[in-house]
Structures are given as C-alpha cells and as structure tokens.
Structure 1
Amino acid sequence: MEQLDVVVVGAGLSGIGMACHLERERPGTRYAVLEARAEIGGTWSLFRYPGVRSDSDMHTLGYRFRPWTRAETMPGGAAILDYVRSTAVEYGVLDHVRLGHRLIAADWDSERARWVLRVAHGGAEVEMACSFLLMCGGYYRYDGGHRPELPGLAGFSGRVVHPQDWPDDLDHAGKRVAVLGSGATAVTLVPALARDAEHVTMVQRSPSYVVSLPSADRLAPRLARVLPGDLGHRLVRWRNIALAMALFQLSQRRPRLMRRFLRKATAAALPPGYPVDTHFNPTYGPWDQRMCMVPDGDFFAALRSGAAEVVTDTIAGFDGDVIHLASGGTVRADILVTATGFNLGLFGGAEISVDGRPVRTTETMTYLGMMLAGVPNMVYVLGYTNATWTLKLDLVASYLTRLLRHMSDHGYDTATPSAPPPGVTEEPFTNLTAGYIRRGLDELPRQCSRLPWRPTMNYALDTMTLRRTPITREMAFGRAGSPDRARPRPVPPGR
C-alpha cells in the first residue's frame, strides 16, 4: 500500500492552493492531490454557463502568495481557471495531481497513526495511506445542482437546464428565456443571456440584495508600477478586505441604515418609477445572506434596456411555452433555466471514520473552523460566508504549517482537537439563512459559544487567532502505538 505524508482531496482553488503552500513551506513532503473529475480547477472548470464569473473581488480571491495582477475585479470563469492552472504549473503541483481519483472512504488507524483511504479510479478501488488528510473539496456536491419540485413541469414544451449542467449544444440566440432564481448565478446569467436572446425574464420567489461594483480596479496597476515588489498588490488586497469587512459590520449593526442605502443605490440604477420595493426589497436583513455583486451594474443595464425583466411571484404550473404564476400572470419561454442553487455536501460524499467508527459530522464540534474535535490529523477548508474563499485558505495553510512543524519538532505522529468541556452552548455552524444552508445544515458540524470551537467569520480576528493560538491549546498529541497517544499535553508557559 502506498504511504504518503499528506493527501489533499480536491484540485480546485483550495486544493491547488494548499498544495502550493506545502511546496513553499514544507518542501520534500510526499503528497498527492486527488481529483475526482478529469481536470483541475474545481468550480471554475465545472461551471460553463454564459457569463460565469467571480462574484467576489479577485484581488482577495487570488492567493496571497501569488497576487492577482490584472485590473479586473470580477473576471470571467476562464480567466480564473487559467490563474489556478498557471499557479499549479509555477509551483510544480501538477506532477502530484491524480485525476479521476475519487475518495470513497477514509478510516483513521490509531495504532499506526495513519489514514487508510479507499479511492475509486478507473472502475476499480485502490488503497493508499497517509499521515495527514486535507479535505479541500469545497462545500457543494458536484454531481448535480438543487432542483426543487416545480408544479406541472412536465407540461413545459421547452428545454429545461440547470447552470451546473449547462449543455454545450444549447443555443439561446433569438429565444425567450426564463431564469428561475434570484441569487448570484441568476443575476450573472440574465445580462449574459440578454445579449443574444429575444427576451430574458428572471422569475424570483423573493428578492435579493444586488450591488453594483466597478469591473476594474484602477488603483491596483498604478500602485504596482510605483511600489517595489508586490507591495502595491498587498495594499489593494488589504484595502478590499477592509471595505468588505466594513460593509458586513455596518450591515449587521445598522441594518436599517444599510437597507436604505442599498435601496437608494438600486433605485438610481433603474428607470424612474421602477417598482424597486416589489423586486429589490428582501425580507431578510443585509448580509443575512450573501449579497449579489454585479460588475458595472450590467444586471441593471439589461433591465433598463428592456432586454430583460424581473417578475416576483411563485410558479403555479406550465402549459406548453407558458409559465403560469400564482398571481394569475404568465411568462412565455422557450428555455427554462433553473438557477435554484446547489446541494451542500462536505468531503465529496466520502465516509470518514476513526478506528472503524463512523464520524457523523453533525455530531462533531468544529475546532478553529478547520478541524473536527476527536478526529486526528484531518484539516478541512471552508471559506468565509461574508468574504472571499481564499482568505480562509491562506490562514488554514499557515496554521497547518505551524502544526506540522510542532509535531515534527517534538516527534509526534498525531494531533487530535479536544472536545469542548461540558456546559458550553452548542450552535449551528452558521447563522446565514440562505436556502442551500437551511437544506444542508445536517451536513455541517456544530460550533459552540467560545473559541477555539467557534469559527469567527472575521478575517481580521482569524488573522490573529489562527496565527497566535498556541498549537497545544485544546490539542492532544501522541505517537503511533503509544498508550498515551490521546492524552492532551499541557500548554507550556508563555506559549
């Protein structure tokens, strides 16, 4: 059986980034990156729908160690995929990627202090072992998006597609298109489809907050020209981090003020007299769900031009090319795009166990938002819900480097986060109210009311917490075959 130091699961933004950190910080590590699909890139190689792009600022979505140097703030999916691939090439990661390898199960063997992995490849199963397991497969299932039951859908005469499974042969030019949904995917699709379609109608049950941002950062290239090294990029990155944090904090602390501000900005982007309160007045507070960011207001421009419209209603049924709405209204469409979200799914559906005992995610407690209490030598990456994904990846990688160094320096083979003491208050992993979160809460671990068992969802706080938290805090270290391998070590003074 092949024995590795580290196995990284997933070759998307997180997995490639984590492998690059290993190359930079732990040269000589024997590792492999397992990717279930036939190419690297994760989200950015999977999604092929028109207009697919980042809905986050790329200067913070890009890796800290390899700054995004272009002026675009929300580039297209192809540009992001090229960025991920070129990063993998530059850091020599591609040689370690194993495509078509899907993790089926991982069982921790306490006696030998290693993970034993069952991996599907080429129609067969192979086994391998590793000392440390890094779960970097994201938080949604790649095998299909969320498809809610639509009454009478069988009566629709047109074509039905989901953005996660966009067909190569779909031609929407000159067609009437209905996009169901109001999230980031829907507001991306509408202006992209409207360029060639006869007409696009976005049918939403309830509104979302839609915020226009500049598509290019004029300051970034200027600073890059006049400041040494990557200082200019780092300044832009921190400016964008600070602005995003300020927006989130203001939304949480002064929701009425932020709601008024967002409504005013939305009204200004739409024609006079537009029913803003009907189509852009969410029932939830700002940042109780992720906001939809649109570059240069392209979504609003499509509405102003008349090429697209928004209908806020529920679907009552279908009849040929007619979508019947609960209000009695109708929408005609040749193509129905169900931009209705995705299905949450941790660890790619792999079964995780410790000494043969299944690990039930919802019965475990998260540790620093990156490990599970009672599960040795396993780290996972889940990005921020209120900031860009890669910010958390970089911090997790930095903590992992410290942890591996500590274990190497002290001759430890295992590191197991301790469970919180009795009496702490358990809470859901996140308080976001988005549909995919509500549907997938039974996939997520729990958290409690205090650190280190509480993810902060605050990059500035995490920067201090994950970099300064003593590696030995609430962590049990041990050696293979040692009877005291699970006993927590005391925190040395001054650590």
Structure 2
Amino acid sequence: MNRRTTNGHANGQANSHLPNDKPALNFDIVIVGAGISGINAAYRIQQTLPSHSYTILEARHDLGGTWSLFKYPGIRSDSDLHTFGFAFNPWKKPNPIATGASIVEYMNETAEKFRIDKRFEFQHNVLAANWSSEEQEWRLEVENDGRKKVYYAKFVILGTGYYDYEEPLKAQIPGLDNFAGTTIHPQFWPEDLDYKGKRIIIIGSGATAVTILPALIDGGAGQATMLQRSPTYIVNLPQKKPGELRLYERVLPQRMALQITRLLFIWVPYLFFLFCRQFPTAARSVIRKGAQHDLPPNFPLDPHFVPHYEPWDQRLCFCPDSDFFKCFGSGRAHIVTRKIKQVVKSGIELDSGERLEADIIVTATGLNLRFGGNIALSVDKKKVNVADHHLWRASMLTDVPNLTLVIGYVNASWTLGSDCTARLFCRLIKFLEKNNYTSARPRIGEEEKKDPRSVFQLKSTYVNKGAGNAPTTGWKDPWLPREHYFFDNWSANWADLRKGMEFERVADKI
C-alpha cells in the first residue's frame, strides 16, 4: 500500500497537515500493551509481515502487564507455563506454575531474544483512537511524560487485557469504611507492607485468595483467615522438580520434548474440562476426593470445599503441590464459609453472630472488567462503546475497521487464544493487501444478533458484574465465543475471512 509511513521503530517523521504542526508518528501497525499478548503479536508480525513497520505502546514503565503490576504475596500464574508461555519460545523450566517474577523474566528474555524489546515505547498512554474512513487509518492520541503525541496506523492491535488497571472491582462489603486497620485490594498491594505476626482476613475464594493464603503463612502472618461466601473448586497441580524427567524427555531432543509437553498440557486440561462438563457429578466427586486427600486429617470438607455450582461454571483454581491445602496444617491458616453481616472497627461480624478480629483486611473479590483499556475509541468521531458490539471470530468488533481486540481463554491459558488472534489478524492483513483492500469491517445481521452470549462463559460474580463493559458473542460462526483451542487454531489458519466481513477499497490509498 502506498501510504505515508516511516520505516523507523520509535521515531517517526513530522506530518505537516496536523493541527498546530504537532509531530506525528506513522506505522503500519500499532500494538497497545507490552504484556504477553503484545509480545506474542509482535513476534507474529515480524514472522508473517516482515516488511511492515510497527511499534508497541505501553502506558506503564515496564513490560509484563499483570505480572509486573501485581505485587501481592505469592503472585503466580493460574495456568501452566507450557501453554501460557510462547509457542515460539517454549517454557523450559520444569515447574508448570510460575511466580510473577519468573514470568516477567521469561517475557524480558523472549523480547530480547527476538529483538522485540527495540519496539517498546514505555510510559506511552493511549488516550483515544479514532478511525477515519476518509483517510483509511487510525489516529491515536498518546500521552508521554505529560506531552501529547499523535500516532497514525493502518492497523491497531489492543493487547490491553480484560480488566481495568487503574480501578479495581469495588467490593460491596457493608461497613468496610468502619474498619480501623489496613484495607488492601490485591491489585494495589503495598510492597512495604509488614504483615508478620498480624491477623489477616482475606475476603474471597478465587485464584487470588487461594494464592495469598499460603504465601501469608509462609511469610510469617500471625493468623490468616480466608472468608468466603461460597466455596470454589480447587485442584492440586504437582510441580516437577529440576532434574525430574519424563521418559520422552530423556530420549528425545529438547525441542521435540518441549513440543510434546506443550501438546500434553493443551490436551489433558481440555479433556478434563470436557469431563467436568459432561459428567459433573463424577467430576465433583473426583475434585472433592483430591481435596480431602491433601487437607490435614479430619479437616472438614463441608461446607468449605463443597461448591453449590457445577465444575467450570466458574473457573477452577489450581494450587501447586497442594500448598493451599497443606497450609491449614500450620494451625495459623483458617477458612470460614459465611456471609458478612458488617465490618466493624476491629474486624468482621458474620451473619452467624461470630466475630473475626483483624489487623488487615484483603478484599480479593475480583477484577473490574474492562476491554480495550480506558481508550476512547471512535469511528469517524462517533464513540464506540465496546459493550454494544459483537466479536467477529472472538477478535474484532463489529463496525470497527482494522482493529483487533485480543481475548484469550478462561478455561485454558490466555496465550493460546491471544496467539490465535494474532495469527488470524496477520492473515487478514495479508488478505487485504493481496486483494488491494484498504480496510476490513465486521458486519452482523439481525438474525445473527439473536441469542447473544457472554464473551466469558462463566458465572463468576466479577464476570456478571462486568457484563456491561464486555462485548457480546453469538450463537453461530463467525460470532462464536472462544470455546476450545482446536477450533480457534483451525480458524486462525483456514477460516473464511470473507464471512461476516465487509471490505473497502479506496483507490487513492492503494
């Protein structure tokens, strides 16, 4: 395409037609977000579209996304790194569940290895993005150290995750302001917090609470209590130790062995997911027996580990080497399954009349869903509300040209889905250029809008509360939600790009 663009990375050229002669930066592709999705997309661009210029804009000071933002004790992945890691740079360590620090280290190593680190522009916060049908390009308003900058791009990839980095989900806890101690949301954990010897209540039952409880006990908390309104399914995931090798790892070259390991970690969890969906009663029994086996002797299973919903109605929680179950053997870790009556000055009163005393309350009650970050999106200066749009192949918003929204899985590793999105979008760009199109805009018919579905097929509280901020999926291809990797992987490589898509060819932009 003949378009005004620079071949540089972080440097662009001044553009005289901008208002007030402000300099603009021009790229074929702008990636927003230097997390795992952004790095993955960058690699796919370099591999598939080597002649295209691109940059990665990151609002924070460092790469890593969630893994550099969250600092709460024990922060770790809730998916295995063999599939959460990059297919093009496999996770080589034996442990499938990794700490936040080791994930950031791995991401830095990957970015450096493939020279993606040369494309990062940190502390570049994208405030607004407007698509111009006349110009057939995106105009992005960016703030950098208090200065305003303008970027132009033919394509935009939003690797901004699915939650609000600035504002957590507000916990609806009666009387929380009455508490005289310290109240913390895990998303903004103070790194200098001294909790040794303190009495701590963790409100919540999801992956964050399951991670924090054993970490606090190991870190010297006096007493730590996980207070949950309803239980969660929690499953042990054994960690391999250095030097432990499977038979195929002993006889095959490392590269081949890593590919087999990755395939195993794709297939086995998916088969277990299908087992849970098809045989929920049997799955409940298996999960409960596992918990009973790993808990201290005579520790009550009911009501603390007997959820009232079916497995995978909400996301399963995984704990490495049963650390969550084992921490109750310390005598300092506790679990309480009751509703909160109110928070008082010294702790929490339960609906049973019991009072839990505390020095610190941790509100691990979920994330505030936000797709596309806090960027003010618009098309021809008409505001785009993400929640009003359907997703084409779980990747692009209806009526929004040349923009992809990276969304992964909730029943598998996020990266599996984000990689499908990146490969699909790169294939779409090649298709556009081969056919001399300048833009692709998803369009959905009235019949296809019937029976809308949630982007995340879960019944978790934070998902239900955040539904008003999420795009919608449909009941038939190409509007289906992400359901399993095998279909999405096929779709990324072979699906009909014309289905549900409207193309535009503007002569003077070709």
TM-score (norm 2): 0.91
* SS at 1:27 equivalent: coil
Distance (Å, rounded) in 2 between the aligned partners of 1:118 and 1:408: 26
Residue in 2 aligned with 1:417?
442
Q: How does 1:373-384 map to 2 (within 5 A)?
A: 373-384=398-409
Residue in 2 aligned with 1:67?
90
2:387 counterpart letter in structure 1? T
Distance (Å, rounded) in 2 between the aligned partners of 1:3 and 1:145: 34
124-133 vs 219-228, which deviates more? Answer: 219-228
Residue in 2 aligned with 1:35?
58
Q: How does 1:171-250 map to 2 (within 5 A)?
A: 171-195=194-218, 196-216=220-240, 223-228=248-253, 230-250=255-275
TM-aligned CA distance change 1:291 to 1:408, over 3 Å? same
How big is each residue's C-alpha offset from its partner over 1:396-452, in whole Å with a ceiling of 9 and x where there is no partner?
122122112212222221112221353652312233111111111111112221000
Is residue 454 from structure 1 mapped to residue 480 from structure 2 by the alignment? yes
TM-aligned CA distance change 1:219 to 1:373, over 3 Å? farther
Residue in 1 aligned with 2:380?
355
323-332 vs 218-227, which deviates more? Answer: 218-227
Aligned partner (choices 164, 179, 200) of residue 156 of structure 1 = 179
* Post-superposition offset of 1:23: 1.8
Is residue 283 from structure 1 mapped to residue 314 from structure 2 by the alignment? no
Distance (Å, rounded) in 2 between the aligned partners of 1:125 and 1:431: 39
Distance (Å, rounded) in 2 between the aligned partners of 1:174 and 1:219: 37
Contact 2:443 2:502 in 1 (8 A): yes
143-152 vs 358-367, which deviates more? Answer: 143-152
TM-aligned CA distance change 1:133 to 1:221, over 3 Å? farther
Residue in 1 aligned with 2:16?
none
Distance (Å, rounded) in 2 between the aligned partners of 1:472 and 1:83: 37
1:212 counterpart letter in structure 2? N
How big is each residue's C-alpha offset from its partner over 1:65-86, in whole Å with a ceiling of 9 and x where there is no partner?
1100000110111000001111
1:473 counterpart letter in structure 2? K
Residue in 2 aligned with 1:309?
334
* SS at 2:372 equivalent: helix
Q: How does 1:365-404 map to 2 (within 5 A)?
A: 365-404=390-429
Distance (Å, rounded) in 1 between the aligned partners of 2:388 and 2:346: 47
Residue in 2 aligned with 1:491?
none
Give structure 2 stretches of 5+ with no counterpart: 1-23
Contact 1:420 1:453 in 2 (8 A): no
Contact 2:442 2:501 in 1 (8 A): yes
Residue in 2 aligned with 1:139?
162
Residue in 1 aligned with 2:12?
none
Distance (Å, rounded) in 2 between the aligned partners of 1:424 and 1:117: 30
99-108 vs 290-299, which deviates more? Answer: 99-108
* Post-superposition offset of 1:226: 2.9
How big is each residue's C-alpha offset from its partner over 1:342-397, in whole Å with a ceiling of 9 and x where there is no partner?
10111111111111122222221110000112211011111101000010122112
2:30 counterpart letter in structure 1? V
Distance (Å, rounded) in 2 between the aligned partners of 1:364 and 1:153: 36
Distance (Å, rounded) in 2 between the aligned partners of 1:363 and 1:185: 30
Q: How does 1:266-281 map to 2 (within 5 A)?
A: 266-281=291-306
* Post-superposition offset of 1:160: 1.1
* SS at 2:78 equivalent: coil
Aligned partner (choices 347, 365, 381) of residue 322 of structure 1 = 347
Distance (Å, rounded) in 2 between the aligned partners of 1:140 and 1:110: 29
How big is each residue's C-alpha offset from its partner over 1:95-131, in whole Å with a ceiling of 9 and x where there is no partner?
2111111111111111111011111222232211100
TM-score (norm 1): 0.94
1:364 counterpart letter in structure 2? H
* Post-superposition offset of 1:181: 0.7
Q: How does 1:455-474 map to 2 (within 5 A)?
A: 455-474=481-500
How big is each residue's C-alpha offset from its partner over 1:271-319, in whole Å with a ceiling of 9 and x where there is no partner?
3433212101111110011011000000110112322010011222334
TM-aligned CA distance change 1:200 to 1:147, over 3 Å? same
Is residue 80 from structure 1 mapped to residue 136 from structure 2 by the alignment? no
TM-aligned CA distance change 1:407 to 1:224, over 3 Å? farther
TM-aligned CA distance change 1:334 to 1:45, over 3 Å? same
* SS at 2:471 equivalent: coil
Distance (Å, rounded) in 2 between the aligned partners of 1:25 and 1:482: 26
Contact 1:220 1:232 in 2 (8 A): no
Contact 1:191 1:299 in 2 (8 A): yes
* SS at 2:139 equivalent: strand
Is residue 251 from structure 1 mapped to residue 270 from structure 2 by the alignment? no
Contact 2:347 2:357 in 1 (8 A): yes
Distance (Å, rounded) in 2 between the aligned partners of 1:96 and 1:36: 14
Is residue 478 from structure 1 mapped to residue 504 from structure 2 by the alignment? yes
Distance (Å, rounded) in 1 between the aligned partners of 2:49 and 2:325: 48
TM-aligned CA distance change 1:301 to 1:365, over 3 Å? same
TM-aligned CA distance change 1:106 to 1:423, over 3 Å? closer
Distance (Å, rounded) in 2 between the aligned partners of 1:356 and 1:75: 43
Distance (Å, rounded) in 2 between the aligned partners of 1:75 and 1:353: 38
Aligned partner (choices 68, 76, 84) of residue 53 of structure 1 = 76
* Post-superposition offset of 1:331: 1.3
* SS at 1:179 equivalent: strand
Distance (Å, rounded) in 2 between the aligned partners of 1:125 and 1:328: 56
Contact 2:392 2:500 in 1 (8 A): no
Distance (Å, rounded) in 1 between the aligned partners of 2:448 and 2:482: 20
Identity %: 38
Distance (Å, rounded) in 1 between the aligned partners of 2:184 and 2:240: 31
* SS at 1:117 equivalent: strand
